[in-house]
Structures are given as C-alpha cells and as structure tokens.
Amino acid sequence: MLTLKSCINIDDLGRLAARKVPFPVNDYVEGGADDEVTLKRNSDGFGHYQIVPKALQDVSSICTKTHVMGCDIELPFYISATGFSGMMCPTDAELAGVRAAAKFKTLYTASTFSNRSLEEIAQASHSDKLFQVYVLDDAELATRLNQRAKDAGFKGMVLTIDTIVGGNRERDARSGLSIPPRLTVKSTLQYMLRPVWLFHYLRGDGANMGNFPEMPKVTLGDSKAFVEAMSKLFKKDLTWADAEHMIQQWGGPFAIKGIMSVQDALRAKEAGASAVILSNHGGRQLDCTPSPIELVEEVRQAVGPEMEIIVDGGIRRGTDIFKALALGANACSLGRAYVRGLSAGGQAGAEKALSILEAEFKRCMILAGCSSIDQIGPEHVRKIGA
C-alpha cells in the first residue's frame, strides 16, 4: 500500500495524491491545455540534456546555498505560487506550504488567489516569501494589495502575465470542475468518494478568497456570483507600461513570470525587472509552446550575467534542477511537484516533496563533482545530438 512514508519520488506523490483528493481536483492539478503537448514537453525537455560529470573532485562537503530575489536560501529551488490551495489541502491551504518552505529554509510564493490572506501567510513563518500578482483592472485595489504585501514583509514581487484568459483545459470540462469546486451531477459522486476531503473542504477555507474578503463566498453548490466577480478583476489591456509601473511602485526585487522568448526577456530587463521566470504556466495556458528548460541557454546569453533567470515547469527530479543551473538559471520554482505533495499529505506531503528533491539534487552534485552551486556550469551539461 502506497503511503507518504513509502513515496520515493515525485511521481509516487502524484499517485498517492490521486487517492486522497477527488478525481476532478486531481485532474485540475495534473492537466494541461488542449492536447497537453506543452504539458508533456515541459518534463520531457529535460531529457534532451545529459549531465557531464567532473572526475576526482573533492565533494566531501556540499553547499547548496544561493541568493535569489534578494533572499539567501538554502536550496536553489522554491515553491511557486499555486492558487486555491484549499482544494488540495482543505485543512491548511497555503499555510502547509509556507511552513514546509520555512523548514527547508527556502522561499514560498503566495498567490493573489490564495485561500488564506497574504497577512496570514506572512505570519505563518519568519522565512522569506514572495507575493505573486496579476494586473488588476481596479487600480486602487491593485495599489492597496501592493501596499499590503509590503506591510506584511514580502521580500519580492512576481507578476504573472500569461493568464489574461484561461487556457482550454479539457480535463476540467470533462470532469465538471469549476473554480472553486461546485456540485454537479457528474462531480457529486467523485467528491463523495473522498469523504475526508469533502468534510474538511465544507468546513474549511477552501472556497474563500483570502485576499479579497469582499468577494462573494461560495459553496460547493453555487459559484455564479463568485465567477462573475472574478471575471471583473483582471485588466484585459495589459501592456509593458503596466509592468513598468508595478516595478517602480514595488521598488524591490521583481520577477516577471510567463516569459517565453529572448525578446520578452530583454524587454523585461529594459522595464527594470530583476528576474525573469521562464514559464508557460505548466502547460495550462497556450499549448504547443517550448519547454522553459529549452530557453535557458539562449536567454542567459541575451540578458547577461546580472539578471536572474528562474525555471518554472516540468521539474520532477533533482537532476532537472541541476541541468537548469548548468544551462544558466539561478534557481527553479516548483508547481506540480509541490502540489502533488500538498495533495498527498498536507504540510507533511509538501515537506516530503522538498526532501525528495533536496536528496536527489545533492546526490547529483556529488556524482557530477560539484561541492557548491557556483561550481555548476555549462561544462556539466550537453544537449543530445549537439
């Protein structure tokens, strides 16, 4: 029987998660857009690169510390923003993730659409955190949210730019999932088959909008008012001028997430961003795009050594993280890898995901002949067929 203790890799956590949460919720976590070509390519892309070890290096002591987004962290990977975490962990929602990240002394990214407020998330640990935002149509509300993040002590801001409209997620359409979940003829049985999840979801904060308490509260059976309010939040005519304004307003470490080309990476640098997050939203928005790992080398050559590059998408192994750093990334952020752990076991599951990747990454460093992050370089990776 698969248990949290017996999980030895991220895929195991995914299999356990499928037994813990309702089928529609698991499909929401695991699914992508259209034919899911990009979803598959994100993880397969790492397989296009081989690790080239250096022999006879002193690896008796390993240091994985690094500096990203103005923060000193113990690992070169951290938890990315995941909205509506109350679906995956109805008892603790985002608090499970932020506490897990603090235990491993790495970053946690709070989502605009978190079920707990950014203030609650900030108070859950003393560790450094990032806040992920969208450009909101209400300028006053956006400014207020920005100030709340500053007052709460978030160290960096992450602007997500690839969700002006939702991706065509056909798995969700087939399962009848809505955000947040609601009861339909098709989904009712699936929710009832996970009675523990259903009990905690109905009594917990899974349907709350922590950062927008003024929005209508929804139940499993009625989300119409909520959906209408959500549709009015986003700014539809998003431009680089909006990004520049937010960068100036924040005045600290600022990353733009959703960059998928050299041209846009250069534009982000020109706008004043301190980092770009190469991401296609986990293959959940526009299908048939490149995988982020395939862009790292050319983006690094274009933006130079000063700008930080973070890889987001497809990471399932510690070797994936090593390859990203060798190609020129400063760090990686975890979406599905983290959420699989969260769904499988709440905070303990999130910690399990981080511990698996930490062990795999450290082992890879030793076998590749690297004792510190700054020793990982282009000489440690080659593209197959190059």
Cα–Cα distance, 221 to 180 (Å, whole number): 10
Nearest CA-CA partner of 80 in 130, 42, 27 = 130
Collapsing DSSP to helix, strand or coil, 223 comes out as coil
Collapsing DSSP to helix, strand or coil, 230 comes out as helix
Longest dimension (CA), the chain: 64
For 239, how many CA atoms within 13 A lie in the half-sphere containing its CB? Answer: 2
Q: Distances in Å between the alpha carbon of 137 and those of 164, 236, 279? A: 11, 8, 23
Place of tokens 């975490």: 85
Helix ranges (H only) for the chain are 10-20, 23-30, 37-44, 94-103, 118-123, 139-152, 170-175, 185-192, 195-203, 224-231, 240-250, 262-271, 296-303, 318-327, 336-368
> Is there a catalytic annotation at residue 200?
no
Q: Which residues pair with 66 in a beta bridge?
A: 73
Q: Distances in Å between the alpha carbon of 146 and those of 113, 192, 239, 385? A: 14, 39, 18, 47
What is the distance of C-alpha 198 from the center of its chain?
A: 25
Cα–Cα distance, 74 to 308 (Å, whole number): 17
Backbone φ and ψ for 285, nearest 5 degrees, come out as -115, -85
The Cβ of residue 361 has, within 10 Å, a number of other Cβ atoms equal to 23
The Cβ of residue 209 has, within 10 Å, a number of other Cβ atoms equal to 25
Out of 48, 67, 245, 281, which one is annotated catalytic? 281
How many residues are there in the chain?
386
Which burial class, exposed, middle or buried, applies to 151 when counting CB atoms under 10 A from its CB (0-12, 13-18, 19+)? Answer: exposed
Residue pair 318/297 in contact by the 8 Å Cβ criterion: no
Q: Give the active site residues.
A: 281
